[in-house]
């Protein structure tokens, strides 16, 4: 049974929408990483430790540079912080725009992975969009139809 190929219009709309979405997601991911890099570090006291299988979640309490007392929950990525107990102190990185909600460990580099994935999606959709919107090749004249 022969499968029908998707129409050219569908491919153009799909690839253009995907390219626009990939551009927006890449911009947001880049902004997020830059915002976290412009933030500050603080010493946080561990209020609660929760182990869920291989994952460890910490509830930490800290004071921002503006003097605001915050409590936040974060996922542990560093092996050194997996063995912390309630009452211990760890270093956390606070985002510049919203320091109470966007908290990570001081040595967490996972934000760059998101940018790499988004860049790969952006390249893929850019190629798809180019292939969908380019002018189709003119068919060969009939006298060359049977030639290899």
What residue segments make up the domains of the chain, in order of their start?
Answer: 8-133
Q: What is the pLDDT along the chain (148 residues), one digit of tens a residue?
A: 688 888 889 999 999 999 999 999 999 999 988 988 888 888 999 998 888 888 889 899 999 888 889 999 988 887 777 788 888 899 899 888 888 888 888 888 777 888 899 999 999 999 999 999 998 888 777 776 777 6
- Check if the beta carbon of residue 57 is closer than 8 Å to that of residue 73: yes
Q: Which two tokens stand for residue 64?
A: 């921002």
The overall pTM is greater than 0.85: no
Distance (Å, whole) CA 129 – CA 140? 25
């Amino acid at each position: 049974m022969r499968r029908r190929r998707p129409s050219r219009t569908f491919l153009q709309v799909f690839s253009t929408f995907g390219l626009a979405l990939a551009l927006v997601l890449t911009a947001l991911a880049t902004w997020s990483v830059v915002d976290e890099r412009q933030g500050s570090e603080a010493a946080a006291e561990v209020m609660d430790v929760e182990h869920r299988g291989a994952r460890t979640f910490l509830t930490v309490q800290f004071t921002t540079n503006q003097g605001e007392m915050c409590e936040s929950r974060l996922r542990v990525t560093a092996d050194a912080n997996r063995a912390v107990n309630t009452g211990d102190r760890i270093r956390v990185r606070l985002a510049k725009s919203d320091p109470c909600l966007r908290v990570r460990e001081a040595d967490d580099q996972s934000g760059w992975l998101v940018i790499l994935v988004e860049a790969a999606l952006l390249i893929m959709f850019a190629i798809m969009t180019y292939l969908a919107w380019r002018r189709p090749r003119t068919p060969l004249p009939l006298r060359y139809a049977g030639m290899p």
